[in-house]
Structure 1
Amino acid sequence: MSSQKIVGDDLYSNMDFTVDLKKPLVFQVGYLGEAYDEWVHKPIVSKESPRFFANRYLESLTRTVWWVIPIVWLPVICYTQMLAVRRGLQWTAVAPTMLFGTFAWSFIEYSMHRFLFHVKTKRYWSNTAHYLLHGCHHKHPMDGYRLVFPPAATAGFCALFWPIVNLLFARNLAPSFFGGGLLGYVLYDLTHYFLHHGVPFNDASRKIKRYHLHHHFKVQTKGFGITSEFWDWVFGTLPPAIR
């Protein structure tokens, strides 16, 4: 399927279909077929929040303000640590177990971003799913309402990982480790929001913001770490020198 170039800022065509950004997007993008990957990685730099669904209820589920994340998940994290103690984990072991979980999250963060969020798709439903999961963020990187994960989506991932953690860890360690991973996720989502909408306040914050924006606007196949560049260094996906 051959493709044409972008026409202006709001239209993209292939032989059979044109995406109109003035209309709900989610059920359009799948029709781009093989042209989808090229289209979604040409960002539109605007704070405007495009419409995803015609249905108002579905549309509301895709929009999340950043402060909802700590409000929803910090109490859950506290509960997991209390549960671990009730199961027999010593208080002195809570902090190191949580830290291990947070470190494990950093690997999950990197792996999901590299191998799931940046998988290439070309069929209707895979394009549609990818757009909902991560493609929309690369197309509209400054959309402040779709930078953090909606709690319902995060709950789905929690439901997937919780039985795995319980299978791999002792009964008293599992809740604390899981809570540490969830804390890593919260730090990741808040950091991600800051990198797009916050004002750097020191050299470290300026460096990590520059690192992430380089991933969006220069080399989208490198720099998959959000909260740290550690795993990019380990697996050789550091971007070229950032100026």
Structure 2
Amino acid sequence: MVTGGFVVDLNKPLVSQVGHLGEAYEEWVHRPIVTKESPRFFASDVLEFLTLTVWWAVPLIWLPVVCWFVSTAVQMGFPSRQVAVTMVCGIFVWTLLEYSLHRFLFHIKTKTYWGNTMHYLLHGCHHKHPMDGLRLVFPPAATLILLMAFWSLVKLLTPPSVARAFVGGGLLGYIMYDCTHYYLHHGKPTKGISSNLKRSHMNHHFRIQDKGFGITSSFWDKVFGTLPPTNPAEKSR
């Protein structure tokens, strides 16, 4: 594929190539290739393996961590009812974090070699290959980095027992997010909330990439005015 004078060879590892696209990267990465096959990212088999994650690894790995956070909060004397309320608050905050990361980090504009490369690894690959089922959820290592940053911040702002319940809720919100994201791409909802979410997310991928940043909910898109238009004739503004 030729873009801006640079030839992207889809049969070779992509990560080392995308940086050379320069200013043409933005246009290239938003021309999706709809196939369930996983493109090769790295020549190294080890690095390649680290980029591949099956969807069920998310609840398998992280639900026990949620249980640990919640159980330790209870053991520290935090009343069960307050644990539940705090967890709901954590889930709510996650939805804002989910929206913010997607809008302001995952869709940052890049044109330098390393900027394009990092963006492709972070989110660009998902827009280029939206049906790649092995690169749809966060790899555990990436989730761990985000979790440690979230945990460190919450510990500074709240008492220990509250922090555990809050982070447990936030992590549960993340699990719901990644599993929902996978379902929106590979599931076939026919009605209800899940059908509306899928329609909004597919609009984000294939029609208007600067709208529809919420995955588990359209709440923040409504709040901040980034809800995709329902009329296909409407243009992104």
- Name the TM-score class by shorter chain: over 0.9
Tell me how far 1:82 sits from its aligned partner.
1.2
Distance 1:194 1:72 in 2: 18
How many angstroms does 1:242 deviate by?
Answer: 5.0
Amino acid at match of 1:57: V
Report the Cα offset of residue 159 of structure 1: 1.4
Task: Report the Cα distance in structure 1 between the residues aligned to 2:42 and 2:78, rounded to whole angstroms.
Answer: 46
Question: What TM-score results when the alignment is normalised by the length of structure 1?
Answer: 0.93
- Separation in 2, partners of 1:91, 1:206: 34
The residue number in structure 1 matching 2:214 is 225
Distance in 2 (alpha carbons) for counterparts of 1:195 and 1:82: 31
Written as runs of structure 1 = structure 2, the 5 A alignment for 1:26-45 is 26-45=15-34
Question: Aligned partners of 1:63, 1:171: CA distance in 2, in Å?
Answer: 35
Runs (5+) with no aligned partner, structure 2: 233-237
Identity value in percent = 62
Determine if the alignment matches structure 1 residue 85 to structure 2 residue 85: no
* Alignment size in residue pairs: 232
Q: Does 1:14 align with 2:4?
A: yes
Q: Given that residues 20 and 113 in structure 2 are in contact (C-alpha distance below 8 angstroms), is that contact kept between their aligned partners in structure 1? A: yes
After the TM superposition, which residues 161-200 of structure 1 pair with which residues of structure 2 at under 5 Å, given as runs?
161-200=150-189
Q: 1:130 aligns with which of 115, 119, 122?
A: 119
C-alpha separation between the residues in 1 aligned to 2:3 and 2:98?
33
Q: Where does residue 200 of structure 2 map in the other structure?
A: 211
Partner residue in 1 for 2:130: 141
- Rounded to whole Å, the distance in 2 between the matches of 1:52 and 1:219 is 26
Maintained 8 Å contact 1:211/1:242: no
RMSD: 1.0
1:115 corresponds to 2:108 = no
Partner of 1:6: none
Conserved 8 A contact 1:48-1:143: yes
* 1:96-138 Cα shifts (integer Å, max 9, x gaps): 1101000000000000000000000011111111000000000
TM-score norm. by structure 2 comes to 0.95
Instruction: Give 1:13 deviation, angstroms.
Output: 2.5
Separation in 2, partners of 1:130, 1:144: 19
* Pair 1:240-2:229 in alignment: yes
Unaligned runs of 5+ residues in structure 1 are 1-10
What amino acid sits opposite 1:233 in the alignment? K
